[in-house]
């Protein structure tokens, strides 16, 4: 057990350190490690055959494809939005800056179910834009566009938050230096700003992707649970579980858990290269 | 005339006092001009306006006879050395220096040649592959100079270039900058709050206070002929004495002096007396009493009380002080030299 760079004055006695370590690790094992192992154990409880069959079923495949599609749309959109918003918030003082800062936090503070309900209220048949939408034959709710919009809403601040923190800490002196050396706005963005924020950006994108693929609450409300059409992986897990198809449910869940592990591993690797 | 600015005004927020007010100055081609002043005097704002990093509310800027008031930063062709360097932390020393050249899309062999030349000039030949955070403060500062000089700027702007360094490195880099300027002769504007730096490095000093230019001239003019009480108190290590003028004669704490012309009889005056310009001597006729003696390495600062109770500081060399056998309570004769006398407001 190394003590890093603590001075003697603030270092706890040995028994306290051991106690703290065991408490932290024990808690982690109980609430994170054990469930993770359970998912894979339950998924493989009848062997590899049923597991692969469950993953290969038509409905599961449809759910996987929709999940990938939703992520493929929301992640790039939120990345562009996130960088633009962080840029604006870090560099400029404008009317409404505080409002934008607060709104960026909204998806964090609002329950995803509420977010989904908001979409229903705004876009539903009796909602604000419902009549207009149906008059123009636009089907948002209980269709793929609704799933994409709800996911985009829930994940829209993840990239912005990560990038904003780094931009605020770094200030804009290096950008000014680039200008004085003759850089255009685009050259400055490409040669100075993006390299400076790249790890925060990549990490934000990873988080955004993980959340986009794993989102349940908001998507559950707006999707209408149309099997094979508007069901993402998390929704599919719930349906299979409710039908007592445990191997199927856990097999689908294992895909999501695997995604989470890959995200965490990627983060570790990135943090390693950053230092 | 190389850099000319006329009637520059800049106010950051409506209602606040202006950061720069009605600033007009000329910086000679090939020379070094120092913008000197206490913090908050507007000198950095003025430098950033010249660079194009800030837009003035009013006024004109021209460089080599061309009006650049509306020209963007990138097209002004200036080199800027930032306070705290602002090196590109993700690039090596070589890539930092070559940044401006790469933007000009010069052939890579030519860039490499010019970067080598600059590494030589700033004496960092061995460190081209390092990242900025692997260099000392003084080395980073020299990289910042090389980066600014690489695209051959028409004018070099320096914002507190030695501000973040410790005293010894400051002094070394000051000498180094003098030598560098003697080699390159690039027109330079330097912002500093350190009067010694300004007086040593520049041919022209522009002194600012509260957003206004209060005096400009050669270092000698600024030092010898301050135009206002502010300049007299800011430059050098001056003590303030109060007195009066009668019939062309000033009286300061019982000491008689010639008053400058134009001060009417019977008016109160302020006199700024430089600690390094007065002398103390043992004499039968004394006029001051020594209250404290502070020895600071090679010099000695003596605080004396004058006849009417006013106090002032006298600076002596250690040799002078030792010759006088100075001790607190001694009575001595003080010669004020030529204090700068102004009509009291």
By Cβ distance, the residue of A173, A187, A196 closest to B82 is: A173
**pLDDT on residue A192:** 93
Residue B268, beta-bridge partner list: B244
Interface membership of B105 toward A (CB under 8 Å): no
Question: What is the rounded CA–CA span in Å between residue B180 and residue B156?
Answer: 12
Q: Are A182 and B103 inside 8 Å of each other by CB? A: yes
Question: What is the rounded CA–CA span in Å between residue A175 and residue A197?
Answer: 12
Residue A175 Cα, gap to closest chain B Cα (Å): 9
pLDDT digits (tens, 9 = 90+) for B268-289: 999 999 988 899 999 998 999 9
pLDDT digits (tens, 9 = 90+) for B115-124: 999 999 888 9
Q: What is the mean pLDDT of residues B302-307?
A: 93
Angle separating helix axes A246-274 and A233-242, nearest 10 degrees? 150
Residue B76 Cα, gap to closest chain A Cα (Å): 8
> Which of B74, B106, B152 should one mutate to test binding to chain A, selecting the residue with the greatest count of A CBs within 10 A?
B74
pLDDT of residue B5 exceeding 80, the answer is yes
Contacts of B283 (CB under 8 A, 6+ apart): B332, B333
Question: What is the rounded CA–CA span in Å between residue B33 and residue B41?
Answer: 16
Closest CA to B118 of B74, B152, B169, B83: B152
pLDDT of residue A271 exceeding 90, the answer is no
Find out whether B276 and B236 touch, Cβ atoms under 8 Å: yes
pLDDT of residue A2 exceeding 60, the answer is no
* DSSP assignment of B159-227: ESTTTTS-HHHHHHHHHHHHHHHHHH--EEEEEES-HHHHHHH-SEEEEEETTEEEEEE-HHHHHH--S
What is the overall mean pLDDT for chain B? 91
pLDDT of residue B104 exceeding 50, the answer is yes
Chain A, 137 to 196: residues with Cβ < 8 Å from chain B are: 173-174, 176-184, 187, 191-192, 195-196
Six token digits for residue B274: 């430089």
Residue B157, beta-bridge partner list: B80, B189
Portion of chain B with pLDDT greater than 70, in percent: 100
**pLDDT on residue B213:** 96
pLDDT of residue B1 exceeding 90, the answer is no
Interface membership of A241 toward B (CB under 8 Å): no
CA–CA distance from A163 to each of A88, A155, A187, A188, B76 (Å)? 11, 14, 19, 17, 31
Six token digits for residue B163: 């501000």
Q: What is the mean pLDDT of residues A171-184?
A: 91
Q: Which residues of B touch A191 (CB under 8 A)?
A: 88, 99
**pLDDT on residue A1:** 47
Phi and psi at residue B319, in whole multiples of 5°? -65, -45
pLDDT digits (tens, 9 = 90+) for B151-192: 999 999 999 998 878 888 888 889 989 998 998 899 999 999
Q: Are B53 and A187 inside 8 Å of each other by CB? A: no
Residue B105 backbone zone (phi > 0: left; psi -120 to 50: alpha; other: beta): left
ipTM > 0.90 (yes/no): no
Portion of chain A with pLDDT greater than 70, in percent: 97
If residue B27 lies in a helix (H) or strand (E), which one and from where to where?
Answer: strand B20-27
Q: Are B99 and A184 inside 8 Å of each other by CB? A: no
Closest CA to A177 of B323, B271, B134, B89: B89
pLDDT of residue A4 exceeding 70, the answer is no
Q: Which pairing describes strands B204-209 and B187-192: parallel, antiparallel, or unpaired?
A: unpaired
- Residue predicted with more confidence, A228 or B21: B21
For B77-166, where are the alpha helices, taking DSSP H only? 93-103, 108-121, 137-149
Q: What is the mean pLDDT of residues A38-61?
A: 88
CA–CA distance from B131 to each of A129, B95, B141 (Å)? 56, 9, 13
Confidence of residue B50 (pLDDT cuts 50, 70, 90): very high
CA–CA distance from A15 to each of A21, A22, A94, A222 (Å)? 10, 11, 53, 52
pLDDT of residue A160 exceeding 50, the answer is yes
Question: What is the rounded CA–CA span in Å between residue B170 and residue B149?
Answer: 20
Confidence of residue A275 (pLDDT cuts 50, 70, 90): very low
CA–CA distance from A40 to each of A58, A214, A255, B161 (Å)? 21, 17, 9, 61
DSSP B128: T
- Secondary structure (3-state) at B25: strand
Torsion angle of the four alpha carbons B278, B282, B288, B293, in this order, in degrees rounded to the nearest 10: 70
pLDDT of residue B229 exceeding 80, the answer is yes
Q: What is the 3-state secondary structure (H, E, C) of chain A?
A: CCCCCCCHHHCCCHHHHHHHHHHHHHHHHHHHHHHHHHHHHHHCCCCHHHHHHHHHCHHHHHHHHHHHHHHHHHHHHHHHHHHHHHHHHHHCCCCCHHHHHHHHHHHHHCCHHHHHHHHHHHHCCCCCCHHHHHHCCCCCCCCHHHHHHHHHHHHCCHHHHHHHHHHHHHCCHHHHHHHHCCCCHHHHHHHHHHHHHHHHHHHHHHHHHHHHHHCCHHHHHHHCCCCCCCCCHHHHHHHHHHCCCHHHHHHHHHHHHHHHHHHHHHHHHHHHHHC
Six token digits for residue B178: 């003098």
Contacts of A124 (CB under 8 A, 6+ apart): A130, A141
CA–CA distance from B224 to each of A110, B232, B239 (Å)? 69, 9, 15
Q: What is the mean pLDDT of residues B197-213?
A: 94
pLDDT digits (tens, 9 = 90+) for A127-149: 788 788 888 888 878 888 889 99
């Amino acid at each position: 057990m190394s003590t890093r760079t603590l001075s003697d004055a603030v270092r706890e006695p040995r028994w306290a350190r051991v106690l703290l370590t065991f408490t932290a690790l024990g808690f982690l094992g109980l609430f994170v490690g054990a469930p993770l192992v359970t998912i894979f154990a339950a998924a493989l409880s009848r062997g590899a055959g049923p597991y692969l069959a469950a993953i290969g079923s038509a409905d599961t495949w449809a759910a996987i494809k929709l999940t990938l599609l939703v992520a493929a749309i929301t992640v790039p959109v939120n990345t562009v939005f996130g960088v633009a918003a962080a840029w604006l918030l870090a560099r400029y003082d404008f009317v409404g800056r505080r409002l934008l800062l607060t709104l960026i936090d909204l998806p964090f503070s609002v329950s995803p179910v509420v977010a989904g309900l908001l979409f229903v209220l705004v876009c539903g048949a009796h909602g604000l834009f419902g009549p207009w939408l149906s008059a123009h034959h636009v089907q948002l709710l209980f269709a793929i566009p609704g799933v994409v919009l709800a996911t985009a809403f829930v994940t829209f601040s993840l990239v912005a938050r990560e990038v904003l923190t780094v931009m605020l800490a770094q200030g804009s002196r290096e950008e000014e230096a680039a200008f004085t050396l003759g850089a255009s706005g685009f050259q400055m963005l490409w040669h100075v700003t993006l390299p400076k924020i790249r790890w925060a950006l990549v990490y934000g994108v990873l988080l955004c992707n993980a959340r986009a693929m794993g989102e349940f609450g908001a998507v559950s409300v707006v999707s209408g649970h149309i099997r094979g059409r508007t069901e993402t992986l998390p929704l599919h897990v719930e349906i299979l579980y409710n039908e007592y198809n445990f191997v199927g449910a856990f097999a689908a869940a294992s895909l999501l858990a695997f995604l989470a592990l890959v995200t965490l591993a990627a983060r570790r690797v990135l943090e390693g290269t950053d230092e | 005339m190389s850099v000319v600015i006329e009637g520059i005004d800049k106010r950051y927020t409506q209602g606040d006092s202006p950061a720069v007010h009605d600033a007009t100055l000329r910086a000679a081609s090939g020379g070094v001009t120092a913008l000197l002043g206490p913090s908050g005097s507007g000198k950095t704002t003025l430098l950033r306006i010249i660079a194009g990093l800030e837009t003035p509310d009013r006024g004109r800027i021209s460089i080599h006879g061309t009006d650049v008031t509306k020209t963007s930063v990138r097209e002004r062709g200036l080199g800027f050395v930032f306070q705290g360097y602002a090196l590109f932390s993700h690039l090596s020393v070589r890539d930092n220096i070559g940044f401006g050249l790469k933007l000009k899309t010069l052939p890579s062999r030519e860039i490499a040649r010019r970067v080598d030349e600059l590494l030589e000039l700033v004496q960092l030949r061995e460190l081209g592959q390092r990242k900025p955070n692997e260099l000392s403060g003084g080395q980073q500062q020299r990289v910042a100079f090389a980066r600014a000089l690489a695209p051959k700027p028409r004018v070099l702007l320096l914002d507190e270039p030695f501000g973040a360094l410790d005293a010894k490195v400051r002094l070394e880099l000051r000498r180094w900058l003098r030598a560098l300027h003697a080699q390159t002769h690039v027109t330079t504007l330097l912002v500093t709050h350190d009067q010694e730096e300004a007086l040593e490095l520049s041919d022209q000093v522009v002194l600012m206070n509260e957003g206004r230019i209060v005096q400009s001239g050669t270092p000698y003019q600024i030092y010898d002929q301050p135009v206002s009480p502010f300049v007299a108190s800011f430059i050098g290590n001056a003590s303030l004495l109060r007195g009066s003028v009668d019939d062309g004669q000033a009286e300061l704490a019982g000491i008689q002096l010639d008053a400058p012309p134009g001060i009417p009889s019977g008016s109160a005056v302020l006199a700024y007396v430089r600690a390094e310009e007065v002398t103390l001597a043992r004499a039968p006729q004394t006029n001051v009493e020594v209250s404290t003696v502070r020895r600071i390495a090679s010099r000695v600062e003596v605080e004396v009380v004058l006849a009417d109770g006013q106090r002032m500081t006298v600076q002596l060399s250690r040799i002078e002080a030792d010759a006088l056998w100075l001790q607190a309570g001694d009575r001595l004769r003080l010669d004020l030299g030529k204090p700068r006398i102004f009509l009291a407001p």
